[in-house]
Amino acid sequence: MKKYFYLACLWCIITGMLSSCTKENTYIIQSPEGEKELRLTVLEDGNYTMELTDSIVFKASPSTATGETTFQWKLDTAKVSTDSVYVFKTDRSGQYSLSVTATNTDGEQTRTANITVLPGKYKHGTFILNEGLIGTHGSLIFIAPNGEITPNAYQKVNGKYLFPLTEDLFIHDNKIYIVSQKGENSSKNDGGLTVLNAETLKEEFRYSFPEGEVFQPTHIAVLDKDEIYLRTADDIKVFHPSDLSVETIEGSEKPNWNTMAVAAGKVFVSHMKKAEIMVIKKGEKSVSHRIQFNDLVSGVIRSSDGKLWVSDNSGTISKVDPETYEIIEAHNLNESNGLPNDKTEAAKLLHRNPASSQAAAPHISAKGDTLYMSATKTTIYAHVFSSNLVKKMVDARQYIPDSDDYFNSRYFQAYNTCAVDPESGEVYLNTLRGWGGKRHTNHISVFDFTWIKSDYNDNIYISPRLARDYANYTDYPANIYFTYNFFQINK
């Protein structure tokens, strides 16, 4: 929707469908010589608010002039036009300052409009990316902070489907990057990339990789709009959209089939066969460093303070400095504080599954220094790193609203790992009844946990609550993504 404003040198308003009459104020501005007047009519306060999908037409014209008038428009500090009309539109929410300077024989004056562009529908919230079945297509679910769910969000905005087998997404600089194992030719595993506006989901780029260039990509990380890192079945590739070229990172063979982390301007990739994380720096063509751990790494994620959390098969969670690669502190959950059975079971959840049922998402998810884990089970545990405490949080089977047939189905499963919202602290878990057609019976379960300290001793008790449950929306969910996590990376 366009809204029209007259900035004249006169600023006045023609009301649109969603706007209302605005009071005008008239200012008499003396020319530098004090002999003539340049008359401007402006909107009160010069403040405007618009939806991201709207545009505003500003028109400038002098109220009084005895000769030609020139105009200079600036958006923030950038010169954008010398016409008498300027159409303001943007693909990014935020605060903007638009000014116009009018010059004629009566003098020179500048008027400024402060424009607030409201966040798009999809800027804040939770995404769940569905792989879909081979031969079908991927899809994107969005859950708003108020709990409203939008299924098939990409399709609704763009009128078409995502590529088949969408596996991972990453948000960088107001863009969502979605990688898929397949491109336009669904009979091949050469992969595809789709780039969306992160606030509107409007597609901006869609590309199928040529045969043999990128084989079976499963995960993605972005350092720059022209530095897109892809985990493939063979190694790590870097895709440069500017010229559609692909490069191989030397020494990156056998990357683990799991999420890559970005911190300190670097990409961190766990190895499939070695107890290490490979470090890739922006612009470099080879692995620059390898961080060693006690056992195979099952998860690497960025922490809220810019460090790294790493889990490994030994049942250990480590905090790592992404600048120096030092392991700052490490906790083996078997030796943590808590009930013996809780510690043992939580430690087991940090162990990778067999390759046939391996989780494609990290085995840990964090809010502050509290890390949650479930592997591909329905029982969720937490580890409070600062106090080295392990607690059992919930057995989701006791809360998911479904019949015994659902849980007793032969292939019932938690699909990939649990994930915690870094703002609300709610923990998400995806379950499904089974493979094939049974996958359409499924649940997105959202839990809220209350930590209660006993008045009589130092014991801490957990009160779980099923905050929300969404039935039958997923289609082999690849992972759960909270937009807030990416805002922290992009700081």
pLDDT recorded at residue 19? 30
- Other Cβ atoms less than 10 A from the Cβ of 110: the count is 14
User: What is the residue-level pLDDT of the chain in tens, covering all 491 positions?
Assistant: 544 444 444 433 322 222 322 333 333 333 333 333 434 333 334 788 999 999 988 888 776 656 788 999 999 999 999 998 899 999 999 999 999 998 888 788 888 889 999 999 999 999 999 999 988 999 999 999 999 999 999 999 999 999 999 999 999 999 999 999 999 988 889 999 999 999 999 999 999 999 999 999 999 999 999 999 999 999 999 999 999 999 999 999 999 999 999 999 999 999 999 999 999 999 999 999 999 999 999 999 999 999 999 999 999 999 999 999 999 999 999 999 999 999 999 999 999 998 878 899 999 999 999 999 999 999 999 999 999 999 999 999 999 999 999 999 999 999 999 999 999 999 999 999 999 999 999 999 999 999 998 888 878 999 999 999 999 999 999 999 999 999 877 66
Asked if 421 contacts 368 with a C-beta cutoff of 8 angstroms, the reply is no
The Cα–Cα gap between 250 and 345 comes to 38
Parallel, antiparallel, or unpaired: how do β-strands 175-180 and 327-332 relate?
unpaired
Asked if 442 contacts 431 with a C-beta cutoff of 8 angstroms, the reply is yes
Closest C-alpha to 50, from 102, 101, 99, 113: 113
The Cα–Cα gap between 206 and 163 comes to 9
pLDDT recorded at residue 5? 43
Name residue, tokens 């080295």.
Answer: 388
pLDDT recorded at residue 64? 63
Type and span of the H or E element at 153? helix 153-158
| Structural domains of the chain in order of their starting residue, each with its CATH number | 2-117 (2.60.40.10), 305-475 (no CATH)
Asked if 447 contacts 465 with a C-beta cutoff of 8 angstroms, the reply is yes
pLDDT recorded at residue 24? 34
In which order are the strands placed within the sheet that holds 316-320? 297-302, 308-312, 316-320, 327-332
The Cα–Cα gap between 146 and 315 comes to 36
The Cα–Cα gap between 55 and 123 comes to 19
pLDDT recorded at residue 490? 66
Q: Is the dihedral angle over the CA atoms 290, 293, 295, 298 positive or is it negative?
A: negative
pLDDT recorded at residue 51? 93
CA torsion 82-88-94-99 (nearest 10°) is 30
pLDDT recorded at residue 455? 80
pLDDT recorded at residue 367? 98
User: HEC profile for 288-320?
Assistant: CEEEECCCCEEEEEECCCCCEEEEECCCEEEEE
Which structure tokens are listed for 198?
A: 């992160």
